[in-house]
């Protein structure tokens, strides 16, 4: 087993300054990059802390008891996040996803949800507000989040076997408590709920069928995600990736399934529905999704921007550097100047790491950690 790679540079301390263009133009609600990809989805990390230590995200060897988390003053305040979100919406964003770390560790997160829920898209509609969580605090928080205006949650769950799950979260957290959190979210009306399972060959692939069996017909959409090379702390290896095509074949060996259309432009998951006796998709049985983040690049229609905990704007999940929005925000910049800077940086975007992954293998390139920017 190769030694785990430990990052030598803290990517949080660096960031490109954001330039305000000389000519400021009012946002039109349609902002595209150099590959004609529109800005539609904003993912906001609200904390760099997490109470799990999953080996593929925040391994204990790196994120131990002495790990220096960001001080509170470095984090964007709820008011700063809301101000930036409003500017992103004016450029065409329709969906806002709150991530972490573990976002429910951010104190009074429901206050931020309520602020975001009062915003409007360019169409005059409330934005689609979602949150990704490990589910550990959902029993306590689900009702408050729904009342604040949260619409849906996505829960990370990498297996149903308690031994496997405790080993993967590496803090001895029981799977029963996550399942209770999912039930609490369903009862609160935070749906349709999605459950994300990262599949790592040699670790939890035996959990694929039990997970599918458990959530089939439950109203929960189960999604299988290929183990990704995000960041440098997880010691990623290609031979630990189980291709989505193999996952689908395994599921089809147990149940008849049919391919479904993408639910929205830029959707990362390929959808498969359980078929009924007539061979057609039966909505009562539900669906699964596969996210082929390694074996099948979906850069061509990626419409997502990511805002880090302390205000760096990342244009790709695999980026090596962010653009320092916080510095511009706290310098006293006007909304017009901030909006112009956002438009400039997205307009110059050309990122397509997954399409180029093969040609980049072997190069020593720092990449942002998943725990810092969210999935």
**Domain assignments of the chain as residue spans, ordered by start:** 11-373
Fold type of domain 11-373: TIM Barrel (3.20.20)
Crossing angle of helices 335-347 and 78-90, rounded to 10°:
60
Dump pLDDT digits (tens) for 259-308. Answer: 999 887 767 889 999 999 999 999 999 999 999 888 876 788 899 999 99
Residue 7 has pLDDT above 50, yes or no: no
290 or 316: whose pLDDT is higher? 290
pLDDT bin (cut points 50, 70, 90) of residue 237 is confident
**CA-angle at 371, arms to 368 and 375, nearest 5°:** 85
Mean pLDDT of the chain: 90
Residue 362 has pLDDT above 70, yes or no: no
Q: Among 35-49, 91-105, 292-306, which stretch is predicted with the lowest mean pLDDT?
A: 292-306
Distance CA 206, CA 121 (A): 43
Q: Among 32-41, 145-154, 360-369, which stretch is predicted with the lowest mean pLDDT?
A: 360-369
Token pair for 367: 């990449």
pLDDT bin (cut points 50, 70, 90) of residue 375 is low
The pLDDT, as a whole number, for residue 365 is 58
Residue 185 has pLDDT above 80, yes or no: yes
Distance CA 53, CA 43 (A): 22
Stretch 241-252: mean pLDDT: 95
194 or 368: whose pLDDT is higher? 194
Q: Are 209 and 254 a contacting pair, CB within 8 Å?
A: yes
Residue 178 has pLDDT above 50, yes or no: yes
Q: Are 235 and 222 a contacting pair, CB within 8 Å?
A: no
The pLDDT, as a whole number, for residue 267 is 75
Q: Among 104-113, 130-139, 171-180, 221-230, which stretch is predicted with the lowest mean pLDDT?
A: 221-230
The pLDDT, as a whole number, for residue 235 is 59
Please state, for a pLDDT cut of 90, what percent of the chain lies above it: 73
The pLDDT, as a whole number, for residue 369 is 66
């Amino acid at each position: 087993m190769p030694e785990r790679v430990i990052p030598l540079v803290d990517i949080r301390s660096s960031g490109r300054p954001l330039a305000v263009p000389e000519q400021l133009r009012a946002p039109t609600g349609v902002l595209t990059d150099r590959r004609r990809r529109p800005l539609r989805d904003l993912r906001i990390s609200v904390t760099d802390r997490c109470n799990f230590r999953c080996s593929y995200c925040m391994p204990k060897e790196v994120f131990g008891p002495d790990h220096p988390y960001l001080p509170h003053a470095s984090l964007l305040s709820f008011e700063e996040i809301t101000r930036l979100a409003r500017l992103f919406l004016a450029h065409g964003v329709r969906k806002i996803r709150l991530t972490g770390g573990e976002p429910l560790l951010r104190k009074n997160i429901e206050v931020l949800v309520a602020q975001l829920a009062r915003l409007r898209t360019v169409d005059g509609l409330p934005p689609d507000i979602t949150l990704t969580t490990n589910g550990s605090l959902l029993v306590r928080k689900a009702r408050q989040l729904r009342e604040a205006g949260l619409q849906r949650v996505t829960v990370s769950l990498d297996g149903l076997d308690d031994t496997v799950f405790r080993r993967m979260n590496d803090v001895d957290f029981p799977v029963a408590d996550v399942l209770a959190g999912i039930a609490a979210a369903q009862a609160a009306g935070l749906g349709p709920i999605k459950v994300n399972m990262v599949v790592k060959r040699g670790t939890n692939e035996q959990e694929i069928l039990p997970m599918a069996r458990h959530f089939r017909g439950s109203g929960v959409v189960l999604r299988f995600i290929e183990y990704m090379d995000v960041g440098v702390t997880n010691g990623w290896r290609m031979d630990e990736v189980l291709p989505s095509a193999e996952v689908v074949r395994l599921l089809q060996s147990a149940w008849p399934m049919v391919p479904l259309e993408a639910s929205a432009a830029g959707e990362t998951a390929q959808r498969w529905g359980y078929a009924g006796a007539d061979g057609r998709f039966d909505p009562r049985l539900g669906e699964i999704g596969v996210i082929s983040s390694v074996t099948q690049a979906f850069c061509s229609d990626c419409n997502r921007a990511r805002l880090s905990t302390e205000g760096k704007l990342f244009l790709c999940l695999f980026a090596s550097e962010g653009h320092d929005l916080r510095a511009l925000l706290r310098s006293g910049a006007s909304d017009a100047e901030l909006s112009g800077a956002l438009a400039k940086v997205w307009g110059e975007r050309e990122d397509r790491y997954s399409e180029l992954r093969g040609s980049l293998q072997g190069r020593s390139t720092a990449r942002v950690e998943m725990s810092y920017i969210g999935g």
